[in-house]
Structure 1
């Protein structure tokens, strides 16, 4: 009786593993909406219930297990490996991350702003390329994400180059000059709520935080998509924009980055 029961449990677990790990991801691969629905909602909730933990916590454990403390590149590799082979997460990812690296290196900013820290993956990618004196301010709305991100950033040894601030971007951007002593940003990376992209770029303009030549790089402009933001930067004479075609992190779904230079 017990043997039969255990065999049923084992068979059910095997079927669930095949479904969640291979069949369903393959079936939804061609659809942006289904891909996000499966990975970012359904599967995440299943794993949260099974492991009594959250995706950011599981990602942090992977970093602590696989990455070398004080080595940013090993932290990036550990997260990429986790997201490709264990559990998808909405970081900028390795493919678009290479584009992000090129833009940051090209700009070589002395002041940088990131909107949307999540678990600190893109923060580590950006901060590791910055000169010693450069300051990266990263804003995260979710305090639980921020707790994990601080640990990931510290594991990479970059905590002295990063100032992580918890709160809403709409509240924090107007405080940049007075509270954080920032005059203007040389580089801004947008990777937070997609409906905040246009609102926050206009807020940065109004607060005088963009100078002539400031580079803005926006992630996920195709999937999930930011059509209002794209229309604004592509038709506004105050911006010069270029689209970098790529894929949604760790999938074959089309996505990309929009690089926009503020012309003043």
Structure 2
């Protein structure tokens, strides 16, 4: 049995941990504990709860308002791993600067980042967004259409990314992608990048943006991007979505050609 004196000696240490990592504890509370409680009480997933809020409080046909409604929910109610407003603005800027005609998104989730990109596309551009979770894909489809984007602008593909990528050319008649946004499972980043290379879906100058390469990180992806000689790269230092005290980052790669 631990003596009271020893127990008391640990109090300053525990307090130091709580103070130093308080934002990570808050993230754990909102993303895990609160989620499980609300799942039990409502019988809905947090994505479904967010969807209901957005459908109730946003203005149809207004992407800016829909994004702001998402941000309000995620900031004040429950945490969703959307790309968020800070990283979303970087994503939009890169779309505007590069003016891609063919865009691939890996990880639609609730449709938030698809809206960010779609509203900056040129009139003749098209976004293909891939989501493996059928429930999330159904919600995202409604959000994207609510914002006013039709299938000629945003086409959703419901399937695992490693199943989709090898068949993109034959199924969707896409020759090359000018812009790729990765926001799905971090462990899949390197695999899917190499699949895009293997199936000749990138061209010189193609931009690949990968979210959350600092938190939670994608070390194998970054090691490959830095060492393979096929990309120039840089990191956009940002914060975790809806947690301005937790650092995160987005990687921007430019394809310079296969060796």
Normalised by the length of structure 1, the TM-score is 0.86
Partners of 2:184 and 2:104 in 1: CA distance: 12
Residues 150-191 of structure 1: CA distance to partner in whole angstroms, max 9, x if unpaired?
111011111331111111100100000001100000000000
CA apart distance, 1:85: 1.0
- What SS does structure 1 have at the residue aligned with 2:137? helix
Q: Is the 8 A contact 2:92 2:117 kept in 1?
A: yes
CA gap 1:123/1:29 in 2 versus in 1, 3 angstroms: farther
**1:112-261 pair list within 5 angstroms:** 112-160=103-151, 161-251=153-243, 252-261=245-254
Name the structure 2 match of 1:111.
Answer: 102
- Tell me, which stretches of 5 or more residues in structure 1 are unaligned? 1-24
Q: Is the 8 A contact 2:31 2:78 kept in 1?
A: no
Partners of 1:29 and 1:192 in 2: CA distance: 27
- What SS does structure 1 have at the residue aligned with 2:30? helix
Q: Number of paired residues?
A: 238
- Tell me, which stretches of 5 or more residues in structure 2 are unaligned? 1-17
Residues 99-152 of structure 1: CA distance to partner in whole angstroms, max 9, x if unpaired?
111111111100000000000000110111111211100000100000100111
- What SS does structure 1 have at the residue aligned with 2:130? strand
CA apart distance, 1:50: 1.3
**RMSD value, Cα:** 1.6
Name the structure 2 match of 1:62.
Answer: 53
CA apart distance, 1:58: 1.2
CA gap 1:74/1:139 in 2 versus in 1, 3 angstroms: same
Residues 176-223 of structure 1: CA distance to partner in whole angstroms, max 9, x if unpaired?
000110000000000001100000000000000000000000001011
CA gap 1:227/1:150 in 2 versus in 1, 3 angstroms: same
Q: Is the 8 A contact 1:29 1:253 kept in 2?
A: no
Name the structure 2 match of 1:102.
Answer: 93
